[in-house]
Amino acid sequence: SVVVVGSVNLDAVTVCERFPQPGETVTGVSVAFGQGGKGANQARSAARSGAATVFVGAVGDDGAARTVLDSLAGAGVDVSRVARTPGSTGFANVTVDGAGENHIVVVPGANASVRVDDAARSAIADADVLLLQLEIPLPAVVDAARAAREAGTVVLLNPSPVQPLPGVLVELLDGVIVNRDEEKALAEVVGRVPHVVTTLGGDGARATGPDGTVDTPGFAVDVVDTTGAGDAFAGALAAHWGLPPAERLLRANAAGALTATAAGAAAAPTVAEVDAFLAAR
């Protein structure tokens, strides 16, 4: 089973022909609401990959809270450990113009108040794998990792958005899941973590661990939107951590590739969809 301690947002994506100038109003073409936040996206992917998955995070006391929790629960994620805090749920306001350029405003909202309480600690202790990102306060990330280490739960970190990592956190990590940019920015840290999984976009992924290095080539797919592909990869990898390295890497790579074939950040495939995709290759 997997515990994700991280962020959850309501995403609103509006499409317009051209961006408004300051002070100007334009008429948009469409709007769509979705669930986002790296933590929630990765939890959704882990659950759809077949792992019993608990999400630990925080939502506000607004209407967005119900929307994002229903969405996560609908994907099979246990949301009983999500805290309700006064104020707004995390929110990402995305505007896309006719050329596909975007403007994004992210309001952390309740994500800024995520804490690891006793209920979260016990969920972490009961899990096989803890999956973390960096869209919540660093003390919560460190607390979660420490609780996992004490209980023998595997600790995986997707260090995104990338930032310097305190040594105390690095020492608690069993593995990192990084894209090329994060690997470069954290080169010194990456050298100190037992398992390093690097996603290579359309070129697939590579995993280096105590037993050596495995590569999995990219899948040739019709790419629609790569948003969320990295999150789908991370969630699937955590869900399949108990499999041999080559097998979990292949399944994570398939989950990432399939996510790139659909619009939206929350498009992670189910284990059945991944099975069908792999069987057809």
Which positions lie near ligand ADP, rule CB under 6 A? 179, 199-202, 204-205, 218-219, 221, 223, 226, 229-230, 233, 253, 256-257, 260
Based on CB atoms, which residue is closest to ligand ADP, 87 or 218? 218
CA distance 90 to 68: 10
| The pair of three-digit structure tokens given for residue 42, joined into one six-digit string | 């990765």
Residue nearest to ligand ADP (CB): 230
CB of 67 to ligand ADP, least distance (A): 24
CA dihedral 269, 272, 273, 276 (to 10 degrees): 160
Q: How far, CA to CA in Å, does 180 sit from each of 194, 230, 260?
A: 18, 11, 17
Helix (H, G, I), strand (E, B), or coil: what is residue 24?
coil
The residue (of 174 and 183) whose beta carbon lies closer to ligand ADP is 183
The closest alpha carbon to 160, from 7, 49, 43, belongs to: 7
Q: Is the CB of 189 or the CB of 260 nearer to ligand ADP?
A: 260
Scanning the structure block, which residue is given the tokens 């590579």? 206
Q: Which of 11, 78, 143, 231 is catalytic?
A: 231
Cis before 161? omega within 30: yes
State in angstroms the smallest separation of the CB of 246 from ligand ADP.
Answer: 14
CB of 38 or CB of 121, closer to ligand ADP = 38
231 counts as catalytic: yes
The least distance separating ligand ADP from the CB of residue 203, rounded to whole angstroms, comes to: 8
- Cβ 178 to ligand ADP, closest distance in Å? 9
Cβ–Cβ under 8 Å, residues 181 and 162: yes
Q: Are 9 and 37 in contact (CB under 8 A)?
A: yes
CB-wise, 58 or 229, nearer to ligand ADP? 229
Q: Tokens 């105390």 sit at which residue?
A: 168
Least CB distance to ligand ADP at residue 1 (A) = 23
Give the catalytic positions in this structure: 231
